[in-house]
């Protein structure tokens, strides 16, 4: 079973409009409400495809209770840790051309005692050799090295750790030597402190984070595909060009696909193609709905042959994220 930990979960409301115009009264074409938070989405995607997963998350207030009800409606295996404060709500505005505008609340602060309860549950539900995925932003007041601390504790218990976060939390987490990190291009650029204009730049940045401690670096590049840097070298994957309906949660579906494929196939390059197929399916769905088997086309993605790799690394990045 793959365990996910989401310290800053949310209610995710998506409003679909033809075109966003500031200062105007707009009519929505549709609205969607889903349970949110990166780890929650990873678990939702895994469960939708028959892969055992359990989400561990703190819950507070009436919005938190609504989140619990949404998880129950989707039959999501969730461990709820009651905390004080209020679970956040996030708003996404999705335009007809695929442009997405997000407004994310900061979330409720967690005390040291509440954090320990979450960590203890993750440790209790994990097992040696299994995966725990630490996902998303940190709530206000939580130390920036929280994921690093958790990674070390889980590693000491023989658990493999994947981290999907950004900013200082990512920088600290890398030093704890996680088995896998999954930044997007923007997050990777922030981590190394320089712009990334080509796949070659992404490879160099990923290798820098490997030198700093991360064992493998899986980078989502939006319409430019994805890239994996590990002990076997570099793999680049691409997916078919799509006009997205909503990109919310696509990176989470991408990570879920990678972990699911590794669980069954055990090979990073095959897993990269599966991850891209899951991510491509997610952008075709409304809100943060996660794709199931009927939504996923395995032929929608492929990994570039080794002989083509050098010629493609210098291509400029377009539409990354």
Q: Partners of 302 in the beta sheet?
A: 238
The two structure tokens encoding residue 105: 């609340």
CA-based end-to-end distance of the chain: 29
Burial profile 167-199: b = 16 or more Cβ within 10 angstroms, e = fewer: eebbbbbbebebbbbbbbbebbbebbeeebeeb
Report how far apart, in Å, the C-alpha atoms of 143 and of each of 40, 80, 82, 97, 127 are. Answer: 21, 22, 20, 38, 26
- Burial class (CB within 10 angstroms; exposed 0-12, middle 13-18, buried 19+) of 214: buried
Alpha helices by DSSP H, the chain? 38-48, 61-73, 112-125, 146-156, 167-175, 185-192, 199-212, 250-265, 268-282, 306-313
Sign of CA dihedral 270, 207, 238, 48: positive
Listed in sequence order, the residues at least 6 apart from 163 whose beta carbon sits closer than 8 Å to its beta carbon are: 133, 134, 135, 147, 151, 170, 173, 178, 180, 181, 182
Which residue carries 């409720």 as its tokens? 108
The one catalytic residue among 252, 308, 310, 314 = 252
Alpha-helix residue ranges (DSSP H) falling in 146-267: 146-156, 167-175, 185-192, 199-212, 250-265
Query: 153 phi and psi, to 5 degrees?
Result: -65, -40
- Contact, 17 vs 286, CB < 8 A? no
Question: Is residue 252 annotated as part of the catalytic site, yes or no?
Answer: yes
Q: Which tokens belong to 16?
A: 């679909």
Q: Hey, which residues are catalytic here? A: 252
């Amino acid at each position: 079973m793959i365990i996910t930990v989401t310290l800053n979960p949310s209610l995710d409301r998506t409003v679909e409009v033809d075109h966003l115009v500031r200062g105007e009264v707009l009519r929505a074409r549709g609205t969607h409400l889903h349970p949110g938070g990166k780890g929650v989405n990873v678990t939702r995607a895994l469960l939708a495809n028959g892969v055992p997963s359990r989400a561990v998350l703190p819950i507070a207030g009436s919005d938190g209770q609504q989140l619990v009800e949404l998880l129950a409606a989707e039959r999501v295996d969730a461990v709820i840790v009651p905390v004080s404060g209020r679970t956040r709500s996030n708003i996404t505005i999705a335009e007809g051309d695929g442009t997405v505008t997000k407004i994310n609340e900061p979330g409720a602060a967690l005390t040291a005692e509440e954090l320990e309860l979450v960590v203890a549950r993750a440790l209790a539900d994990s097992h040696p050799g299994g995966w725990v995925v630490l996902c998303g932003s940190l709530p206000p007041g939580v130390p920036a090295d929280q994921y690093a601390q958790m990674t070390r504790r889980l590693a000491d218990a023989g658990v493999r750790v994947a981290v999907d976060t950004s900013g200082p939390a990512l920088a600290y987490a890398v030093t704890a030597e996680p088995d896998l990190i999954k930044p997007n291009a923007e997050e990777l650029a922030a981590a190394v402190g320089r712009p990334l204009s080509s796949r070659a730049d992404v490879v160099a940045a990923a290798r820098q984070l490997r030198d700093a401690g991360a064992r493998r670096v899986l980078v989502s590049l939006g319409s430019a595909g994805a890239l994996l840097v590990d002990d076997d070298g570099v793999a680049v994957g691409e997916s078919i060009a799509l006009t997205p309906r909503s990109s919310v949660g696509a990176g989470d579906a991408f990570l879920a696909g990678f972990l699911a494929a590794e669980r069954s196939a055990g090979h990073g390059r095959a897993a990269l193609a599966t991850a891209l197929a899951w991510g491509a399916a997610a952008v075709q769905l409304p809100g943060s709905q996660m794709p199931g088997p009927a939504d996923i086309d395995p032929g929608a993605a492929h990994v570039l042959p080794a002989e083509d790799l050098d010629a493609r690394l210098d291509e400029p990045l377009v539409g990354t994220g």
